Structure 1
Amino acid sequence: MVPGNINLTQLQTFLWVSSLRSFRKTAEKMNTTQPAISSRIARLEETLGVRLFERDTGFIHLTAKGLELLPYAEKLLRTSAMLVDKISHDEDFVGILRLGFSEAIVHTFLPEFLSGLHQKFPAIEIDLVVDTTPNLRKELIERAIDFALLMGPVTDFQIENHDLIEFDVIWAAAPSLQIETDRQLSLDELAASPLITYARNTRPYAELSRQLRKNTELPTRIYSSSSLAAIHRMALDGVGIANLPRQMIQADIVNGRLQEIQCVWHPPSLKFTASYPTEPYNPVTEKIVQHALDVTRDYRKQMESSASLVAPEK
């Protein structure tokens, strides 16, 4: 056989196996069976007359010839993808994309993001994953998801990050708790009530714990949750004082269901990024990043307009 018999599907399979180090995970990623993946690699190896992978006690790694093929395969697939991108229309793209979202995105601009995505890429199937940032970061690095909107950036040399949006985080409580709102409370005063915040393995929890250790003397009660919806519900029910993105609870502040509580320590804002693996190359991912940037720009304008309408007169 001659190299002319190589096809792009074989090269794409080769790149996914080299990235995921697993035939099973590659089969899941490419929506096919493990025997089909093995067959593609076997045909590619037969065509080239070399062994591309070593399979040793469950571990898969590239041989010297596999490493030699890697940049050529990446270049061929990138050129092919750029050609398709240049000639075809967005609505012609087909396939399955697994997208990950932090829950703050779900409660703010996710509907606009998804409706716009469907209009631009009607033939693409979307598999949504909503999880905490640490879990999403892990899935990105392992290539279990194709793209994520999360608290970033993700510090991995194979992940590209684009700054997306920043959410202001505030303290909020139900009026039934009768917390003073006309002055700044000390952390000791704030911590007289239970404090409701993000899960223990997140940055907001770590920063709150650090401030409490440094600046309070009395024992404190922290209720942590991986669900923003649960934190929101507990705040509305008067369980304690929660730190939540202002954009998520703006309507509750306006209608009086929640009150903003001032404190000498303000929770840091949450910075979100659009993050995705750079290899294997996928032209659709770059288009989704641009779509996310467009949606968040419009969302910021809407929030700024809403805030100006409800701002008190001076």
Structure 2
Amino acid sequence: MNFKRIETFVLVATLGSFRKAAEQQFTTQPAISTRIAGLEEELGVKLFDRDASPIVLTSQGKELLPYAEKMLYMAEQMHKRADISRLLSGTLRLGVSETIVHTWLTDFLKVLHQELPNLDVDMTVDVTGNLRNGLLDRSLDLAFLMGPVSEPTVNNLELCQFPLVWIASTQLDLPDKTIELEELVQYPIITYARNTRPFTEISEKFMQIDGLPARFFSSSSLSACLKLTQDQIGISSLPYAMVAPEIAAGSLKKLNAKWEPSALSFTASYPSVPFNSAAKLAADIAVNVASEFELNANK
């Protein structure tokens, strides 16, 4: 479909005149008439009632005009995006929760480089509390964290959710039956750092049960938590998406626990002031990448 014809159609409909449209496009009235006639032939409908003065849209023309306007708008946005992607440079200070590192961060960075090839990334991997502070003191431009960040000066885009599961080394030979919390406390509980939501929820839950107090091996490194679990130091509560390969390989086992912690919800969060176009574009890319990851994980 000839884009120039669509542009001419919208212009004539707006101005109500072939002559005025010709003046706007620095061409002749016959050229405008030819474009409209060509579009009408292509679509198989009459767009204008040429006998009216000024000319008016036919019923089919009125129906198709919003589609033509949307095509022009989308083309304009595409050009703007291409211009921004080409011109945008500098450094994006990106904060990332380690859960994202173990799931879709690599995919995100590949797409980011394709979309914004002139942009450098200075990455910090840390717990959510510290990433939140980085956004507020403006030492970070964008963060993928357990959100949202409840501050009026921070924008939040929903990314994804990761269910937490109880896992253990298959060498511990734990039963397949439903396991009560009282049985889990026989082993050290390996999980997120103490200044995180998962640790708070898990520790508060274990405080409610009778018997021996739970022993916690907490760490800000999920890689360390995974290694300790594989080495039979204890059982752990980690995102299923992170440990699925080890479960499939047979080195780890998902426990059928009676209680599991809440799923982790992540957002792409960035300060609204001052506006950072690189952070906004990167956040939009992250939303798409996270959605694609979740879609594939649920297949």
TM-score (norm 1): 0.68
Counterpart among 214, 217, 223 of residue 223 in structure 1: 217
| Root-mean-square deviation over aligned CA pairs | 1.5
The Cα shift of 1:184 comes to 1.3
Q: For 1:223-270, what per-residue CA distance to the aligned partner results, in whole angstroms no more than 9, with x for missing partners?
A: 100100000111111110000100001011111110001112111100
- Please give the residue correspondences for 1:94-105 in structure 2 after superposition, counting only pairs within 5 Å: 94-105=89-100
CA distance in 2, matches of 1:280, 1:207: 35
CA distance in 2, matches of 1:107, 1:219: 31
Residue 72 (structure 2) aligns with = none
Runs of 4 or more off by more than 6 Å in structure 1?
Answer: none
| SS at structure 2 position matched to 1:288 | helix
Counterpart among 126, 130, 134 of residue 125 in structure 2: 130
Match status 1:205 vs 2:205 = no
Q: Which amino acid aligns with 1:144?
A: S
| SS at structure 2 position matched to 1:88 | helix
Maintained 8 Å contact 1:195/1:222: yes
Q: For 1:245-299, what per-residue CA distance to the aligned partner results, in whole angstroms no more than 9, with x for missing partners?
A: 0000101111111000111211110000000000001222221121011101111
Match status 1:166 vs 2:142 = no
| SS at structure 1 position matched to 2:178 | coil
Match status 1:247 vs 2:241 = yes
Counterpart among 270, 282, 285 of residue 291 in structure 1: 285
The Cα shift of 1:177 comes to 1.2
Mind listing any 5+ residue stretches in structure 2 that lack a counterpart? 1-76
Match status 1:175 vs 2:143 = no
Residue 33 (structure 1) aligns with = none
Counterpart among 280, 302, 314 of residue 274 in structure 2: 280
| SS at structure 1 position matched to 2:109 | helix
Maintained 8 Å contact 2:206/2:213: no
Match status 1:235 vs 2:249 = no
Q: Which amino acid aligns with 2:102?
A: H
Match status 1:263 vs 2:257 = yes
Q: Which amino acid aligns with 2:283?
A: V
The Cα shift of 1:89 comes to 4.1
CA distance in 2, matches of 1:262, 1:218: 21
The Cα shift of 1:151 comes to 0.5
Q: For 1:91-142, what per-residue CA distance to the aligned partner results, in whole angstroms no more than 9, with x for missing partners?
A: 2211111000000000000110001100111111110110011110111110
CA distance in 1, matches of 2:274, 2:256: 47
Mind listing any 5+ residue stretches in structure 1 that lack a counterpart? 1-81, 306-314
CA distance in 1, matches of 2:92, 2:80: 17
Maintained 8 Å contact 1:177/1:238: yes
Residue 184 (structure 2) aligns with = 190
Maintained 8 Å contact 1:150/1:274: yes
| SS at structure 2 position matched to 1:129 | strand
